[in-house]
């Protein structure tokens, strides 16, 4: 099996199973010898901020000398971003070899009438590889929700984190922040430490507190505004935490909240027998990298790439653009998934963009470019629907001046599709 065939095989499984539950992933991992049972985890759920929090944690643990696994979703540019050890993606040949074992186990399950889904087979592949590589600790991001997420097959994590709660995936998780919090706090395990991020709505926080109490989990609630900011720009933020200076290479106030959750988790890990020196925290935070988190692709012209795809995420993006680009002409390329709240996402950004080119990302779940353009036009913003993402990018680049800014946003799928073409255009421009 080739690498490309392996990716196609993952893609051939159903994205969501019709019946939520952990029975399929348990059965699949059982056939593989339950590799997850010999591993140590930090489990991370939340509506937004999971990826950044996981990256910060994994980078700090690596800097402290731990053999650190990292499991993320979705990927932006390369599927192997999902499965990493010590900051390096799983090699292609090892992904193929490990996935083939999982596919054979999934075929055995199917013959018995149980069909694993896409995320379950990817999760099983990650667990098997992490076990084979004898990781000291794995930072594990949930895919969707928490209670019935395939990652929730693990036992007794070192810490369970909830970064934020807002309305997203309401069809699967519930129509209120309280219902969504109940699903995400389903990752709490009996007696295992739990942490929740700052700014969580009170209705959701009450649910989280109750879930922690029911599970006997000591709960750390990260306070709002935990740091003293020394300086901030699109390049990142310098801040003080308990008198220690840190550099966070991610822009925006919302990223400070993720950093606060990560530092709280590192404090818990110290008590659990995984000490991380302050110097490693500093080094790890400064070395952290993730694409499409208000990523600066170019400074002249200024081109930003962001994967915000729900109202909370686009509100954070709007706040950052107000702060860093006041009065600047901004052109946007935007594409979204049809199951996202596009109306409020557009509303959050409506006063920032002078012109928008919309495109449907390459996904069967994509929102039609014409529908997204219509939402912008209703807000009084000139918007044109492009045939595809590449055309939208080309149109935007044709209009951008040396002092203007271009923002590519709305979806990680769009970010992944346009990151390399944008970088190539910028290189050729020079």
Residues 6+ away with beta carbon under 8 Å from 96? 1, 2, 3, 6
Q: How far apart are CA 139 and CA 44, in angstroms?
A: 8
Q: How far apart are CA 79 and CA 82, in angstroms?
A: 6
Paired residues of 83 in beta bridges: 71
- Residue-wise pLDDT for 316-371, tens only, equals 999 999 999 998 999 999 999 999 999 999 999 999 999 999 999 998 899 999 99
Per-residue pLDDT tens, the chain, 430 aa: give them.
999 999 999 999 998 877 889 999 999 999 999 999 999 999 999 999 999 999 999 999 999 999 999 999 999 999 999 999 999 999 999 999 999 999 999 999 999 999 999 999 999 999 999 999 999 999 999 998 899 999 999 999 999 999 999 876 556 666 799 999 999 999 999 999 999 999 999 999 999 999 999 999 999 999 988 799 999 999 999 999 999 999 999 999 899 999 999 999 999 999 999 999 999 999 999 999 999 999 999 998 999 999 998 888 999 999 999 999 998 999 999 999 999 999 999 999 999 999 999 999 998 899 999 999 999 999 999 999 999 999 999 999 999 988 899 999 999 999 999 999 999 998 887 6
Which pLDDT belongs to residue 170? 54
The CA-to-CA distance between both ends of the chain, in Å, stands at 40
Domains in the chain with CATH codes: 3-287 (3.40.1190.10), 295-429 (3.90.190.20)
Q: Indicate the helix (H) or strand (E) that contains 81.
A: none
Do the Cβ atoms of 26 and 20 come closer than 8 Å? no
How many angstroms separate the Cα of 150 from the Cα of each of 82, 220, 279, 309?
Answer: 14, 25, 34, 22
Q: How does strand 355-358 pair with strand 244-248?
A: unpaired
Q: How far apart are CA 244 and CA 230, in angstroms?
A: 11
Which of 41, 230, 7 is CA-nearest to residue 122?
7
Q: Residue ranges of the alpha helices (H) in 23-112?
A: 23-31, 50-63, 92-111
Paired residues of 246 in beta bridges: 239
> Counting runs of H as helices and runs of E as strands, what totals does the chain give?
15, 17
Do the Cβ atoms of 46 and 144 come closer than 8 Å? no
Q: How far apart are CA 85 and CA 363, in angstroms?
A: 28
Do the Cβ atoms of 411 and 337 come closer than 8 Å? yes
How many CB atoms neighbour CB 203 within 10 A?
Answer: 14
Do the Cβ atoms of 58 and 50 come closer than 8 Å? no
Residues 6+ away with beta carbon under 8 Å from 310? 47, 48, 166, 167, 168, 340, 341, 345
- Residue-wise pLDDT for 130-182, tens only, equals 999 999 999 999 998 899 999 999 999 999 999 999 876 556 666 799 999 99
Q: Indicate the helix (H) or strand (E) that contains 260.
A: helix 253-271
Threshold 0.75, pTM exceeds: yes
Do the Cβ atoms of 260 and 227 come closer than 8 Å? yes
């Amino acid at each position: 099996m080739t690498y490309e065939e392996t990716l196609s095989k993952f893609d051939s499984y159903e994205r969501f199973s019709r019946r939520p539950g952990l029975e399929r992933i348990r059965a699949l991992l059982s056939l593989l010898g339950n590799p997850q049972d010999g591993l140590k985890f930090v489990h991370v759920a939340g509506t937004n901020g999971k990826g950044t929090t996981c990256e910060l944690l994994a980078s700090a643990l690596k800097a402290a000398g731990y053999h650190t696994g990292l499991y993320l979703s979705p990927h932006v540019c390369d599927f192997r971003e999902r499965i990493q050890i010590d900051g390096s993606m799983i090699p292609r040949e090892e992904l193929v070899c490990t996935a083939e074992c999982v596919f054979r186990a999934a075929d055995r399950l199917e013959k018995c009438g149980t069909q694993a889904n896409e995320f379950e087979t990817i999760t099983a592949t990650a667990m098997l590889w992490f076990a084979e590589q004898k990781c000291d600790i794995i930072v594990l991001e949930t895919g969707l929700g928490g209670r019935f997420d395939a990652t929730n097959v693990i036992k007794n994590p070192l810490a369970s984190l909830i970064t934020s709660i807002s309305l997203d995936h309401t069809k699967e998780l519930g129509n209120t922040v309280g219902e969504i919090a109940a699903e995400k706090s389903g990752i709490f395990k009996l007696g295992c430490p739990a942490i929740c991020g700052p700014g969580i709505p009170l209705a959701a926080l009450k649910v989280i507190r109750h879930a922690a109490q029911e599970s006997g989990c000591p709960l750390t609630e990260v306070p709002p505004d935990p740091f003293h900011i020394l300086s901030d720009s699109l390049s990142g933020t310098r801040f003080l935490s308990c008198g220690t200076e840190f550099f966070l290479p991610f822009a925006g106030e919302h990223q400070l909240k993720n950093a606060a959750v990560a530092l709280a988790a590192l404090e818990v890990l110290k008590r659990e027998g995984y000490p991380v020196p302050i110097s490693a925290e500093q080094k790890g935070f400064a070395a952290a990298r993730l694409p499409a988190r208000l990523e600066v692709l170019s400074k002249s012209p200024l081109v930003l790439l962001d994967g915000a795809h729900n109202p909370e995420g686009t509100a954070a993006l709007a706040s950052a653009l107000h702060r860093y680009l006041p009065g600047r002409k901004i052109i946007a390329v935007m594409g979204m998934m049809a199951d996202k709240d596009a109306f409020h996402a557009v509303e959050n950004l409506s006063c920032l963009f002078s012109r928008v080119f919309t495109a449907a990302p390459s996904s069967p779940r994509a929102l039609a470019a014409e529908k997204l353009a219509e939402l912008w036009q209703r807000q009084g913003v000139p918007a044109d629907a492009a045939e595809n993402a590449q055309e939208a990018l080309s149109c935007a680049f044709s209009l951008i001046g040396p002092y203007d800014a271009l923002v590519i946003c709305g979806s990680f799928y769009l970010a992944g599709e346009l990151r390399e073409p944008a970088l190539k255009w910028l290189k050729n421009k020079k």
